[in-house]
Amino acid sequence: MTRYAFFPGCLIPARHPAMEFAIRSTLPKLGIEIVDLDGASCCPDPIYFKSKDKLSWLTVAARNLTLAEDLGLDIFTNCSGCTATLSETYHLLQDEELRDRVNHRLARIGR
Amino acid sequence: MASRSDDNDIVRVDFAFKRELAQKIEGNLANFCYQCGACVGDCPATRYSPAFNPREIMLKVLYGLEAELLGPDSVLWQCTNCYGCHERCPQEVKPVEVIISLKNMLADRGLAPPAADKVIQTFMGNGRTVPDNPAIDKQRAKFGLPPLRPVPMDEILVLLEPEIEEAGGS
């Protein structure tokens, strides 16, 4: 069975639990094991949060990615906003200078 | 501060503004803009609000017209974040990201709209963009789902602290 870390986001688990239910009932039948992440936060939101402070936005998103990294798993989400944030963060962090800035902040919490 | 001088129409480039923008993530991309206007044609914000024009915004960035970009009630907040300009730009300027960098500068100046502050305040409280409410876990239980997992806010809040400027600055 393929294992993936599940990043639920905010709106789906809180406001649309039926969508989370659908994911949890269908994926195992398709041979995918869902692994829950401990301590995941908002992705964070790619519109307002990013507009306010892009470096903080990247850092919090990077922290969420490290949760899956700890488990050695690829991450998936069923939310379009989280997809935007997490995939963009992955792309932006290919830049070494920016990755250093973000890692510098993550070092504060030992990540 | 940069301005268009009223008497002789000379534009004075404000390099301090451009340097500040370049410090923002992807803020200096406008330098590659050659004003083709590909970003405007399919911009949904421009369609409904001619005051919002991504090509003109990039031009003002090139000129460093801070006063026209970073005032109260800035037109920049009309951007719908559709990323159409990002896809169309032949120069990979990513106008939407330059606009987001400008919004970061507005936020630095305390000029972010209340809606943005509200989202951040909710996030600072519980690590989500949805406020806590006992009805949430009740609703989840109906689908056999466990309660929402707590977010370690001590970690999150530490990450949000801005860098302390080193002596001498950079």
Question: Choosing among A52, A65, A104, which should be mutated to test the B contact, i.e. which has the most B CBs within 10 A?
Answer: A52
B158 touches chain A (CB under 8 A): yes
ω into A44 cis (within 30 of 0):
yes
B103 and B145 in a common domain: no
Angle at A86 between CA A83 and CA A92, to 5 degrees: 125
B4 phi, psi to nearest 5 deg: -95, 115
- Two tokens at B114? 């209340």
The model's pLDDT over A54-73, given as tens digits with 9 standing for 90+, comes to: 999 999 999 999 999 999 99
**What CATH number corresponds to the domain at position B104?**
1.10.1060.10
Structural domain range at position B42:
3-108
Same domain, yes or no, for B47 and B16? yes
Query: Which of B92, B60, B90 lies closest to B75 in space, CA to CA?
Result: B60
Reading chain B (170 residues) residue by residue, the pLDDT tens digits are: 455 555 566 777 888 999 999 999 999 999 999 999 999 999 999 999 999 999 999 999 999 999 999 999 999 999 999 999 999 999 999 999 999 999 999 999 999 999 888 989 999 999 999 999 999 999 999 999 999 999 999 999 999 998 876 544 44
Q: How many CB atoms lie within 10 A of CB A56?
A: 22
Does B22 reach chain A within 8 Å, measured CB to CB? no
Cβ–Cβ gap B104/A45 under 8 Å = no
Q: Which residues of A touch B148 (CB under 8 A)?
A: 13-14
Cβ–Cβ under 8 Å, residues B25 and A58: yes
B89 and B137 in a common domain: no
Place of tokens 């001088």: B5
B166 domain-assigned: no
Q: Do B120 and A49 touch (CB under 8 A)?
A: yes
Same domain flag for B19 and B68? yes
User: Which residue type does B75 have?
Assistant: V
Are residue B61 and residue B27 in the same domain, yes or no? yes
Tell me the pTM.
0.89
- Nearest-angstrom CA–CA distance, B21 and B95: 13
- Domain presence at residue B168: no
pLDDT tens string B76-116? 999 999 999 999 999 999 999 999 999 999 999 999 999 88
Strands A32-36 and A75-77 turn out to be: unpaired
Judge: B144–A104 Cβ closer than 8 Å, yes or no: no
